[in-house]
């Protein structure tokens, strides 16, 4: 693709050689003459002079003193991501149902759907137009999958799961398994029946080996546009809002509420019935106690989680402990000398 064409597709302006042919993308430090790259940070802007990239996506206010071929945009990283998808489109498998796939007679399969080998689609389920069902996927009964979804290999959808449009489910994720619900009867545990559902909104992406459990009663929700990383656990009856991002190895206990646009770091543990309000930020490794409320816009860190400034002050105090111990020891020695006199 030529620079001129890419700039037009991005709705941006360009400078330099509009006829330059771009065949690939690469980091700014390794890009070659036919590669597209971007500079959105201070570090990236400092690397422009030494970069051999054929074209660079740069901020609108970049001073192009070297006369390089550039495309100016308000947000270089976002524009570059769109350009990568254009220059390296994901291969689309041919539509059709592989002979080894098992599809229930009453399942509804939309137009242009691709079902890979050894996939299974259960009774009463519906798969929307343009979906891709990967090899070995298991789709239970009465499952609804919207249009243009991608299920990579070995995704498991239990019965009574609803998936919106344009959802991406990566390999090994499990949607709709039973929640961890048991009751003590005399000297042993008995299972509390998990008869609820899971509902996944439009444009959600769920990473590899992530589990979203069905509700004991009612619905476990994952809202529109939310992104869950690999190995995240969402327990029964959780309600995750719109456009939430959750990094890897985080676990939400039962009944947790995460409101819209919250950001949750990796390896965070959230106790049951806690609430994280809209646009709050939870730092990596934090622990949120049961029934705790993290208020809108707060930045929390540590275990148990506390406001970031308080957490940093405590870290600073911990770092001073060796010095404080020396001071106490010196004071004790001086006191002993005074007492002897």
Q: How far is CA 313 from CA 106, 294, 309, in A?
A: 62, 19, 6
Q: How far is CA 326 from CA 323, 334, 335, 340, in A?
A: 5, 12, 14, 21
**Separation of alpha carbons 221 and 198, rounded Å:** 6
Annotated catalytic, 236? yes
**Separation of alpha carbons 157 and 177, rounded Å:** 8
Sign of CA dihedral 299, 303, 306, 312: negative
Q: Which residues contact 244 (CB under 8 A, 6 or more apart)?
A: 223, 226, 227, 258, 259, 260, 261, 262, 263, 264
Q: How far is CA 216 from CA 65, 79, 178, 220, 254, in A?
A: 63, 43, 8, 9, 9
**Separation of alpha carbons 80 and 10, rounded Å:** 9
Single out the catalytic residue among 98, 170, 188, 236: 236
**Separation of alpha carbons 160 and 309, rounded Å:** 45
Report the C-alpha dihedral over residues 24, 29, 33, 34, rounded to 10 degrees: 0
**Separation of alpha carbons 251 and 236, rounded Å:** 12
What is the set of active-site residues? 236
């Amino acid at each position: 693709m030529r620079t001129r064409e890419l700039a037009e597709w991005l709705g941006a302006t360009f400078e330099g050689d509009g006829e330059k042919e771009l065949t690939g993308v690469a980091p700014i430090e390794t890009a070659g003459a036919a590669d597209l790259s971007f500079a959105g940070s201070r570090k990236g802007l400092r690397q422009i002079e030494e970069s051999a990239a054929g074209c660079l996506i740069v901020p609108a206010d970049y001073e192009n003193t070297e006369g390089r071929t550039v495309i100016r945009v308000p947000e270089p990283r976002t524009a570059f991501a769109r350009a990568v998808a254009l220059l390296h489109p994901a291969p689309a498998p041919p539509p059709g149902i592989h002979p080894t796939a098992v599809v229930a007679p009453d399942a509804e399969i939309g137009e242009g759907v691709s079902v890979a080998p050894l996939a299974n689609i259960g009774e009463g389920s519906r798969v929307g137009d343009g979906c891709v069902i990967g090899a070995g996927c298991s789709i239970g009964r009465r499952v609804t999958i919207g249009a243009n979804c991608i299920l990579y290999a070995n995704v498991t959808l239990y019965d009574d799961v609803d998936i919106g449009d344009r959802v991406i489910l990566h390999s090994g994720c499990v949607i709709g398994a039973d929640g961890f619900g048991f009751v003590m009867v005399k000297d042993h545990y008995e299972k509390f029946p998990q008869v609820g559902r899971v509902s996944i909104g439009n444009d959600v992406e769920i990473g590899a080996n992530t589990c979203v459990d069905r509700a004991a009663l009612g619905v476990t929700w994952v809202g529109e546009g939310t992104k869950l990383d690999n190995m995240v656990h969402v327990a029964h009856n959780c309600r995750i809002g719109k456009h939430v991002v959750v990094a890897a190895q985080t676990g939400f206990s039962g009944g947790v509420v995460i409101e819209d646009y919250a950001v949750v770091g990796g390896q965070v543990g959230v106790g049951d019935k806690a609430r994280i309000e809209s646009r709050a930020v939870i730092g990596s490794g934090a622990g949120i106690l049961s029934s705790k409320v993290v208020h809108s816009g707060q930045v929390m860190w540590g275990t148990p989680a506390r406001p970031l400034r308080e957490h940093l002050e405590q870290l600073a105090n911990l770092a001073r402990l060796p010095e404080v111990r020396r001071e106490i020891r010196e004071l004790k020695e001086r006191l002993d000398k005074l007492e002897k006199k």
